[in-house]
Amino acid sequence: MEKYERIRVVGRGAFGIVHLCLRKADQKLVILKQIPVEQMSKDERLAAQNECQVLKLLSHPNVIEYYENFLEDKALMIAMEYAPGGTLAEFIHKRCNSLLDEDTILHFFVQILLALHHVHTKQILHRDLKTQNILLDKHRMIVKIGDFGISKILSSKSKAYTVVGTPCYISPELCEGKPYNQKSDIWALGCVLYELASLKRAFEAANLPALVLKIMSGTFAPISDRYSPDLRQLILSMLNLDPSKRPQLNEIMAQAICIRPLLNLYTDVGSVKMRVRGGSARTGIPPPLSSIYTWGSGITTPLRLPMLNTEVVQVSAGRTQKAGVTKSGRLIMWEAPPMGAAGGPSLPGATEQLQPQFVSRFLEGQSGVTIKHVSCGDLFTACLTDRGIIMTFGSGSNGCLGHGNFMDVSQPKIVEALLGYEMVQVACGASHVLAVSNEREVFAWGRGDNGRLGLGTLECHNSPQQVTVPPEHEAQRVICGIDSSMVLTVKNQVLACGSNRCNKLGLDRISSAEEPSPEDQVEEATVFMLPSAPLNQEPIVCADIGTAHSAAVTASGQCYTFGSNQHGQLGTNSSRNSRVPHLVVGLQAMKVTVVACGDAFTVAIGADGEVCTWGKGARGRLGRKDEETGVPRPVQLEEMHPYLVTSVACCHGNTLLAVK
């Protein structure tokens, strides 16, 4: 045990105690199974030794890795891989009654399928496959089967007779005491797939005789009709009472329902390394199609979010939600676990809490709809379909959903007032929404104080209202902030309305580089107005609005900031209170293409993928462990290959970044 430092007991099994340990050589967390052998019977010792022998034979990314075994204080110690995401059973239990998306189910299932295929090719039966023995990585995206304590190594044609395993997952032939082979593991695999689809076990009863009767009858409640007929048929085939009629694993892999998730697994999960005996890893695995990073709210360095076998092309962040749109037109959400569950307790000697874990899921109830754009507000979300239809869901306070009422909606619902228009873009502020149509019409709804809706009043509206844009301007894109809005025009000009506190919209009447006089200062505008110099002199290709400042990017790749500089968010070391727009000279070495503003910080993206941040540094806002700085500095991502930033979003103290 001199090589390991015990941290805590994480479980107690039939044969002993399971410890979470720190391997001193590389500071890696590992699991140590402590199995007392002194008082064991001969059969129990053989079972313990069997687990070691089985683990030595297996090497697969979806099987828990075996490191070593040794004797210590009259106990057999087995060192193996630690899976910090808990068990699949725990994951399912935490879902309560919220069913998983079919793609997520298949993503988990094909990994278990590949692992079991690897086990069977080694002439091994698992004999206790269940959701409690299927473990998850820290992102809860990679599954690994473990606990081979009752596995049996078979000769090529031998059959096992011993009745072992968890009663809820045992096959009918085991109940009858008949000999069995790999088909019993396939029955258990069917039970696992059923549990993923229904969030409950296929066979449960108050006592063992009643359970056996249920299993022998082969009857179980059907899964939800939201799932495809192919998925239902796959479950039925694996839970066939006749073992000979259950499909082989290679037959399951060849089914149409499994081919796409299997291909996605090998093309998308590029960070999963195949293990090779001797400690090296197979190279040449392609990188993931895209990666999503987040920082802020206590996450001090970029944290890679879990992915669902897809490429994300656009992201948005709200106060409580993180969302993205996939290349195939699906809406993906990233959610933090319940309070107290994130990250787990700190390890002894740690100076800070472990980074929180996020769970990714496809939005449910989206069948048949292709999403092309998403925008998040506070407690609500708007998304645009490929047919130009806007759908909203979440909190209906302030009329932000645009449904003509203030009711909350849990699933995306069409904004019916806009059905006569083909919408091309939508943007959410904290509590208001703007949208633009293919005919350059602008609509606004939600909270109206400060004139943020651009309707010439301070009134709120719970359904879309058409906004009057100066006739010489044609709207191309809309941007919403906390209490203000912008329109980018076809001719690359910017219009703004709402709160102009600290001149954060650039609406002060400035004729030179001098500070405007009090009579030339605009505190708020209820209609869209053209900013002053230099924002009205150069073509603007990108802009964003923060809490008290904004930023704009010109066609030449220069970045201007304006508004409050209390925390250096304008990109200058001095916390000057000038109302004159500021050219960020610290970015002149790169061509800026995209800019995003948070509550007191700014993020800029370069044409070559550079990511720079500046402003308030508290709670990880800048993506590094720096104090606040008015000088742009780079953010380091984990990517080991050239990447392109495809989308960035800031909200309050958080940043969400998509790269490919």
Q: What does the alpha-carbon distance between residue 436 and residue 603 come to, in Å, rounded to a whole number?
A: 25
How far apart are the C-alpha atoms of 620 and 635, rounded to whole Å? 11
Phi-psi region for residue 458, left (φ > 0), alpha (ψ -120 to 50) or beta? Answer: alpha
Pairing type for strands 582-583 and 409-414 reads unpaired
As a 3-state breakdown, the chain gives helix, strand, coil percent values, each rounded to 5, of 20, 30, 50
Q: Do the beta carbons of residue 462 and residue 403 sit within 8 Å?
A: yes
- Report which DSSP code applies to 183: H
DSSP-derived secondary structure letter, 63: B
Question: 93: Cβ–Cβ under 8 A, 6 or more apart, which residues?
Answer: none
Nearest residue to 305 (alpha-carbon basis) of 366, 379, 355: 355
404 φψ region: left (φ > 0), alpha (ψ -120 to 50), beta (else): left
Q: Which of 183, 141, 179, 140 is nearest to 162 (CA)?
A: 179
Sign of CA dihedral 145, 146, 147, 153: positive
Contact partners, residue 84, CB within 8 Å, separation at least 6: 29, 137, 138, 344
Helix axis angle for 229-238 and 256-268, nearest 10°, is 100
Residue of 274, 283, 269 lying closest to 142 (CA atoms) = 269
Instruction: Tell me the three-class secondary structure of 398-409, residue by residue.
Output: HHCCCCCCCCCE
195, 92 contact by CB (below 8 A)? yes
State the sign of the Cα–Cα–Cα–Cα dihedral 62, 67, 72, 74: positive
Q: Which two tokens stand for residue 382?
A: 């708007």
Catalytic residues: 128
Q: φ and ψ at 102, to 5 degrees? A: -60, -40
CA gap 417, 301 in Å, rounded: 43
Q: What angle do CA 651, 545, 624 make, to 5 degrees?
A: 45
Query: Per the annotation, does 491 bind a ligand?
Result: no
Q: Can you spell out the DSSP letters for 309-356?
A: SS-EEEEEE-SS-EEEEETTS-EEEEEPPSTTTSS-SPPTT-SSPPPP
Q: Is residue 289 within 8 Å of 267, Cβ to Cβ?
A: yes
| Burial status of residue 347 (CB atoms within 10 A of its CB: 0-12, 13-18, 19 or more) | middle
Question: Could you tell me where the DSSP H helices lie in 126-181?
Answer: 172-175
Q: How far is CA 158 from CA 107, 128, 149, 179, 545, in A?
A: 33, 18, 19, 9, 70
Phi, psi dihedrals of residue 405, rounded to the nearest 5°? -150, -170
Annotated binding site: 33
Annotated binding site for ATP: 33
